[in-house]
Structure 1
């Protein structure tokens, strides 16, 4: 089964799911889906909290409301696991037995005599594996440092590094210059990712004078930090899923009906490694446009300028030079629109970087170098840097709470403004 992971056909939609499963999907383990169903369920629940008034009310009920929303998210995860695990089993069965139009790629992967029972056992096993990972993530969050779910994704991605490095130096014909260029590009990408993750736009706040004892004291000036990349990695996930969906449909149509030459041409428009330059350009333009759109969309879901301005007015806060109420709301919307566009463009460049590097260095997308770039560029790099920085911040805060000096320079991890 080990050869499946290096199959060129395993890229695309399967590659995206396999990334969040830590490489377990294409090995058909009980952790084949990883925590991808939980991420999908969380995204759907966030959308519902914007659209459904009862969930909005539940969100405002504090800790009890958050617990109920968490339970609904887990219920949705189990349902998605059951559906997606069925697709994984069908994929394994198809690769084992083959079809009338396509021969078996991996004969004997599944014994044909146990197929009826394999569906039930497979669904239960894969669903249990995902539930176990969610439980493990919650235990890490409660008893450890950092977000457990994020750390599991981080560990899954890092765990693929040794295999990719071995493949790079054992099968590739890359010369020393290309390896050096690849190393420099990775360092540059990591630096740019840190800048993107840490970049914030601080909006100053002031509060009216407060009575402390018998004296009126001017409250300290504060600020609202708006992240340049407030949507984090979500726009890339949304855009990747959407642009990979037509590929999956076309692949299914081209294999389940009479072969039509037009399918290959249409499919090539969704191939970033196409030899026809305007086909690849079409892919890059569509992919970039989707990332920018979803960056604005997800930022709009996360931030509610009307609610924020109302809360500021309620507690006596205001932005210097801006009148409270509708003027504050319009100002916050203006700030968000201004910082979202460069953040989204930066995010799109980071997502496209692996394809550009593979094309520039003339690597095969399923070779050692291509696999390394594809696995540790764009989405995965943003996740790794984000999780690492957040974990460092939490460790630093825990040390400072216990009166230790901390291990970072000046005992702080500061965001760039």
Structure 2
């Protein structure tokens, strides 16, 4: 194994790509720590610590997992890469229903560059909208507290104290430029580095949370052999169980991520002169988890919206109808906490829905059947064309059901661990959910790209025995 790692750094081109990627990831993490101007970071840290166990804090923590940012801190890269991901998803969905975009996708490299240009424009628009709502919410929290977090830029008028419009516009511009800078870093990694740039940025944000989570875990740990006491301290038995569960969950995620349903195919024989071509037997691989992490991201995003709306409605009706507002607030807290039965039931249902939805827009059995027919390949026992397309669709429906069940299990594993073992939710999140899936998927993608460089130069791959 060490010989394989040594071989990686003996290839000059691969070594340069790895170092270039690491430098850009370090630049991203440095920018992640730079705060917005005129924000009291000490009070902001206290506010973040107070909200860590609140429903809003849990909600923002979930957003931070797949956005490569932390909305609980007002930094120049506060929005992270999520606006770019949202723009890419929107255009990808529109490409399956909007004819001009669908035609543009078929134009090859020219169409891809044009779609990337549209994605950048849409990213800027999303950044501006999200920055406005985010800054307004943070300003409302900062000025309503007895100790404001904007001491240096408050303006006193007859209507009271408020933040100057210049600060608001400057912060909006900084956060928008910050997201575009993160997007640029991802593109530079794609072109000159190794691996998928956007995925690596998200993975870097996930892994950066591990030291803090481990420190919180060991700070609450009591070095006794069995059990936990009333103060919430866990014993050594919990540590052993958590280590065992982590290994099992990672092995399961790796198994399902690499799992494939191989459909046998047969190529037709072609006789040219005295030679016979074709006739070979191959396999058409269909991934068991065809949709990746997208159903979990979509399901999490869909559950965030009603939680925000219900909490806003409860605060608006608090004085007019206290009883009704209390019921709405209870429902909003249940949808934002992530531990209630209602939340998990809706979470699993949405994961199944978006798994089939994503499969429907990304997998076209009719087009695949036509491609097999054009290349002179067929599936034994099924006629080329419509029968082949029906068979492929039937297989995809079945394996998508299994893949959605796996995603649902991985998504609720952190909740089960947190509630049954009394472990902090931030630590339990590393045992499943979007973070673990992204980390494993990106790691396999990175290893495969490194292997391609090694095999091309007659070295053995990292995954070879």
1:105: Cα distance to partner? Answer: 7.2
Unaligned runs of 5+ in 1: 275-279, 364-368, 411-417
Give distance in 1, aligned partners of 2:360 and 2:146: 47
User: Does residue 1:263 correspond to 2:323, yes or no?
Assistant: no
In structure 2, the partner of 1:353 is 413
**CA distance 1:213–1:133, shift in 2 (3 Å):** farther
Give distance in 2, aligned partners of 1:118 and 1:213: 79
Instruction: Report 1:42-57 matches (<5 A).
Output: 42-57=88-103
Give distance in 2, aligned partners of 1:104 and 1:247: 26
2:446 to 378, 382, 391: 391
In structure 2, the partner of 1:41 is 87
SS at match of 1:25: coil
In structure 1, the partner of 2:153 is 111
In structure 2, the partner of 1:161 is 210
SS at match of 1:342: helix
1:376: Cα distance to partner? Answer: 5.5
In structure 2, the partner of 1:316 is 376
In structure 1, the partner of 2:77 is 31
**CA distance 1:299–1:4, shift in 2 (3 Å):** farther
2:346 to 278, 283, 286: 286
Give distance in 1, aligned partners of 2:448 and 2:166: 48
User: Does residue 1:60 correspond to 2:112, yes or no?
Assistant: no
Instruction: Report 1:9-24 matches (<5 A).
Output: 9=54, 10-24=56-70
1:227-261 per-position Cα deviation (integer Å, ceiling 9, x unaligned): 11111001011111112211111111111232323
1:197-242 per-position Cα deviation (integer Å, ceiling 9, x unaligned): 1111111222222457851222432222111111100101111111
**Contact 2:61-2:70 at 8 Å conserved across structures:** no
Runs of 4+ in 1 over 6 A off after TM superposition: none
Larger radius of gyration: 2
**CA distance 1:181–1:3, shift in 2 (3 Å):** farther
In structure 1, the partner of 2:22 is none
In structure 1, the partner of 2:230 is none
Give distance in 2, aligned partners of 1:33 and 1:184: 35
1:35: Cα distance to partner? Answer: 0.4
Give distance in 2, aligned partners of 1:34 and 1:109: 26
In structure 2, the partner of 1:225 is 285
1:171: Cα distance to partner? Answer: 4.2
In structure 1, the partner of 2:193 is 144
**Contact 1:92-1:109 at 8 Å conserved across structures:** no
What is the total number of aligned residue pairs between the two structures? Answer: 396
1:23: Cα distance to partner? Answer: 4.4
Give distance in 2, aligned partners of 1:15 and 1:294: 22
**Contact 1:21-1:31 at 8 Å conserved across structures:** no
SS at match of 2:447: helix
Instruction: Report 1:192-231 matches (<5 A).
Output: 192-210=252-270, 215-231=275-291
Give distance in 2, aligned partners of 1:314 and 1:322: 15
Give distance in 2, aligned partners of 1:355 and 1:283: 11
SS at match of 1:119: helix
Give distance in 2, aligned partners of 1:214 and 1:11: 73
1:362: Cα distance to partner? Answer: 2.2
1:264: Cα distance to partner? Answer: 3.3
1:123-178 per-position Cα deviation (integer Å, ceiling 9, x unaligned): 11111111111111111111111101101111111111111111221245221111
Give distance in 1, aligned partners of 2:69 and 2:371: 45
Give distance in 2, aligned partners of 1:384 and 1:346: 16
**Contact 1:206-1:318 at 8 Å conserved across structures:** yes
**Contact 2:299-2:354 at 8 Å conserved across structures:** yes
Unaligned runs of 5+ in 2: 1-43, 156-162, 222-232
Give distance in 2, aligned partners of 1:12 and 1:87: 19
Give distance in 2, aligned partners of 1:42 and 1:5: 30
**Contact 2:413-2:432 at 8 Å conserved across structures:** yes
- TM-score between both structures, scaled by the size of structure 1: 0.90
In structure 2, the partner of 1:132 is 181
**CA distance 1:269–1:31, shift in 2 (3 Å):** closer
SS at match of 2:96: helix
1:108-127 per-position Cα deviation (integer Å, ceiling 9, x unaligned): 46732353112211111111
